[in-house]
Structure 1
């Protein structure tokens, strides 16, 4: 396919937060980076210092925007926020640990763990709704920059959706890929959709953040 029809995407998960360490569900709650996360953001920026990015898009939540801002400052590229890149909304689960959720709502926790696409925590999103939101927003942003490279800075759950879209993996399939904090992941986008190029690069980190998808799901959903 012609080079001008391709958009190269660097998808980055935000740096570590205190709630990642605690395995506490963040979802749409606006939790900042911790000290390690800020260090990771600077390492991502240094690793991508030579990338010719036409644009940097970030979730509007602080943990992603802080990570994106470090990259934007490194490259002199402004960061644009996109609400469609937010983590999955987990409603009543947000602010709780995995253990607390299982203790309070064992039946709901089981549906979550089994990746029921229709399951919605009260006040939250289903996997089906979340996936559609992420793929639409990411494709729309990438479509603006055919022939160029962009960065999407978001959350573990968002990256999980992009991996599944690019690899044609079903929403209910168990996750076998990593979603590390401050990981660098590469995809291509055309009108036909996403293609996977490289995944879970953390060589720029002297010590990696949590590999668990603790924004929203160690048991198989979103981060």
Structure 2
């Protein structure tokens, strides 16, 4: 068995799931199990083709259908079956789930103001706060990285999860307004060595048709 030197970076490609009809409608999915639309299926295939020569040794995915289907399409090109990670699910948006952003703002103006203002403790009335989500996502990310030192790994996940990971890697606060894109089926490469993290590239869409959505609020 060849040992991989621990000073070699672990590179993780984070892939947002392909487009869904609810993405196109700006409807809040949360943990409701929505599937991909036809555009999303094409995006998943395109991501798989792009990553087929990237030297990927492991493939993980959120267990929600839109992520899992994206991961299965990618895995078909990599010769890998995705291992499912419930910890990488989208945020639980509680009473907001199933509503468009405009509907959520109209029905729950105070809650929407807390959401839009990135109040880290607001939980959508029995949903999930940013602080709670941060703990589950970053804990699992660190665990995956530790299991694949010096390797290249793909994780298929969700826009809200990517928002958390970007802040974790850059050391930015949960309350800071978003200053980065999170397009459907975009590729986001991060790396870690000796516990230090950095972003290599973010929001890559060169493999996709023009028009990949980033419908998320800032």
TM-score range, shorter chain: over 0.9
Please state whether the residue corresponding to 2:57 is helix, strand or coil. strand
1:68 aligned partner = 71
Q: Deviations over 1:182-222 (max 9, x none)?
A: 00010012342421111000011122321222xxxx2x3xx
> Are residues 1:153 and 2:153 paired?
no
- Further displaced range: 192-201 or 116-125: 192-201
Gaps of 5+ in 2: none
Using the alignment, how far apart are the partners of 1:147 and 1:10 within structure 2?
13
Name the counterpart of 1:164: 167
Aligned partners of 1:139 and 1:189 also within 8 Å: no
Task: State whether structure 2 residue 92 is matched by structure 1 residue 89.
Answer: yes
TM-score for both structures, normalised by structure 2: 0.95
Name the structure 2 match of 1:111.
114
Separation in structure 1 between the aligned mates of residue 48 and residue 8 of structure 2, nearest angstrom: 27
Q: Any conservation in 2 of the 1:118–1:127 contact (CA below 8 Å)?
A: yes
CA distance in 2, matches of 1:73, 1:16: 19
Q: CA deviation at 1:143?
A: 1.0
Question: Runs of at least 4 residues of structure 1 off by over 6 A?
Answer: none
Check conservation: 2:6, 2:193, Cα contact below 8 A.
no
Task: Output the aligned Cα RMSD.
Answer: 1.2
Which of the numbers 153, 168, 177 marks the counterpart of 1:174? 177
1:1-223 matches, cutoff 5 A: 4-213=7-216, 218=217, 220=218
What is the number of equivalent residue pairs in this alignment?
Answer: 214
- In 2, the alpha carbon distance for the partners of 1:62 and 1:148 equals 26
In structure 2, do the counterparts of structure 1 residues 119 and 193 end up closer, same or farther at CA, with 3 Å as the change threshold? farther
Unaligned runs of 5+ in 1: none
Structure 2 residue matching 1:211: 3-state secondary structure: coil
Deviations for 1:79-128, whole angstroms, at most 9, x for unmatched residues?
A: 10000000001111100111111111111110111000010101210000
